[in-house]
Amino acid sequence: MKETLQIAIDGPAGAGKSSVAKALAKRLGCIYLDTGAMYRAVTWFAMQEQVSLEDSAAMEALLEKIQLEFKEEPGGQHLYCNGVDITEAIRTTEISANVSAVAMLPSVREAMVAQQQKIAADCDVLMDGRDIGTTVLPDARYKFFLTASLEERARRRCLELQQKGIAVDLEQMKRDIALRDEKDSKRAVSPLVQAADAERIDTSDMTLEEVVEKLFAKIAK
Ligand code: DC
């Protein structure tokens, strides 16, 4: 098997993972895989098909029917679910509120992790998520765990949504993120946890460029 470059970036919601990962992957010339988007896509599809998350047989049948594809387009990466562009649709607060419940289902994790590992077997990748360093790519050459204070993470998420014209309340966002952190950290399968060999970086007082530079310097070295 060809040896590929694998970089894992994990951390809680709003720590800046995806912006850092996108910029860093571009600079390194490797593929960027947003694994959170995959769990969001399953959530979107389940809601679309009106499948109850508690119905495990129906969820398993749903996984058989879902075909996810990332495509590089002029404005950035887009995610398609069975041919439908769901890039924007998976970022709503409704999806954010339900995705943790989907991401804790063992059948969903098994299917998504298998797809992620398949991609990493063939090309150089940088993946961001919650379990990349611990479960998806345990042998990744570089592992980072990005964190930031709850206040700062909520502020960043609010700003992101406001830029898209979506009005949000900072205090509500703090509560939503704290709840999601708790669910992601306490689930039985692949909880959000720092890999023992990952480097922890607190980005609370850093700009996006500073974080990218720091990670790039470590990899280039
Ligand atoms: O990074 P994000 O907010 O788009 O992630 C959406 C949800 O998916 C989040 O609640 C945690 C979950 N997730 C996961 O369990 N494992 C991953 N590798 C990535 C995301």
Specify the pLDDT at position 187: 86
With contact defined as beta carbons under 8 Å apart, do 70 and 116 qualify?
Answer: no
Give me the residues paired with residue 9 across strands: 128, 144
- Rounded distance, CA 118 to CA 195, Å? 21
Ordered alpha helix ranges (H), the chain: 17-28, 35-48, 56-65, 93-103, 106-122, 150-163, 170-186, 208-220
Specify the pLDDT at position 54: 87
pLDDT digits (tens, 9 = 90+) for 135-176: 999 999 999 999 999 999 999 989 988 988 888 899 999 999
Q: Is the CB of 14 under 6 A from ligand 1?
A: no
The DSSP secondary-structure symbol of 135 reads I
Specify the pLDDT at position 1: 53
With contact defined as beta carbons under 8 Å apart, do 107 and 59 qualify?
Answer: yes
Q: Is the CB of 36 under 6 A from ligand 1?
A: yes
Residue nearest to atom 1 of ligand 1 (CA): 36
The pick from 33, 34, 39 for probing ligand 1's pocket by mutation, whose C-beta has the most ligand atoms within 8 angstroms, reads 39
What is the whole-number distance in angstroms between the Cα of residue 75 and the centre of ligand 1? 23
Residue nearest to atom 8 of ligand 1 (CA): 36
Q: Is the CB of 44 under 6 A from ligand 1?
A: no
Specify the pLDDT at position 19: 93
What is the whole-number distance in angstroms between the Cα of residue 73 and the centre of ligand 1? 23
The closest-lying atom of ligand 1 relative to the alpha carbon of residue 14 is: 3
pTM of the model: 0.92
What is the whole-number distance in angstroms between the Cα of residue 42 and the centre of ligand 1? 11
Burial environment of residue 65 by CB neighbours within 10 A (0 to 12, 13 to 18, 19 or more): exposed
- Rounded distance, CA 8 to CA 139, Å? 10
Specify the pLDDT at position 2: 61
Q: Name every residue whose Cβ is closer than 8 Å to that of residue 73 and which is 6 or more positions away in sequence.
A: none
The whole-chain average pLDDT of the chain stands at 93
Specify the pLDDT at position 164: 83
With contact defined as beta carbons under 8 Å apart, do 16 and 148 qualify?
Answer: yes
Q: Which residues of the chain have pLDDT under 50?
A: none
The closest-lying atom of ligand 1 relative to the alpha carbon of residue 10 is: 18
- Rounded distance, CA 89 to CA 79, Å? 10
